[in-house]
Amino acid sequence: MDRTEQMSRLVVIAKYQENLSWTSQLTSEFIYYDKSDRMFNVGREAHTYCHHIIKNYETLSDELFFTQGDPFDHCPDFINVTQQPLIEDFVALGGGKFGQILQCDQTGAPNHRGLDLKVVWDKLFTTTCPTSFSFSSGATLAVKKSRILFRPKEFYIKCRDILAYDINPIEGFVFERLWSRIFDGSTT
């Protein structure tokens, strides 16, 4: 891409009941999906992210920032972050402090015991499930279109369908731990 070309950037917001007045500070385009609508309130923010990817797969922005309706608990500097070009193909933006990375095992321990990451992993990937995962809490993330398109649209449909059965499925917390693997560019 020519350096003079402007990269398209979009902030995708999974809103529930949060006040979105902060979006007036964004210099990037944004879209929000209102989860307070009973018809769309399934699957936590992960369902919303997958829905956006599926709906816009052929016309995705070059850089996408995904967040819940109030990103500041997870990424206090969210407005500034969305104004900077992405250097990396994928960045986890959460964790309370920008850049704080957590670790868990296949059961979500020590942060959220009782998650079964292996079950979801086996539904999505053909490789052996790792024994540990690095993640950033809050599912606030930035990813380049090229990393999203590395996987076919059908992959994201499968992800969305895993989440679509409940308002607060346990798999929503699993996806928080899988985003870096989903967008890592591997062929698994």
pLDDT of residue 186: 77
pLDDT of residue 3: 46
pLDDT under 70: residue ranges of the chain = 1-5, 39, 95-99, 187-188
pLDDT of residue 135: 87
pLDDT of residue 95: 61
pLDDT of residue 39: 64
Answering whether pTM is above 0.75, one says: yes
What string of H, E and C letters represents the secondary structure of the chain? CCCCCCCCEEEEEEECCCCCHHHHHCCCEEEEEECCCCCCCCCHHHHHHHHHHHHCHHHCCCEEEEEECCHHHCCCCHHHHHCCCCCCCEEECCCCCCCCCEEEECCCCCCCCCCCHHHHHHHHCCCCCCCEEEECCCCCEEEEHHHHHCCCHHHHHHHHHHHCCCCCCHHHHHHHHHHHHHCCCCCC
pLDDT of residue 8: 95
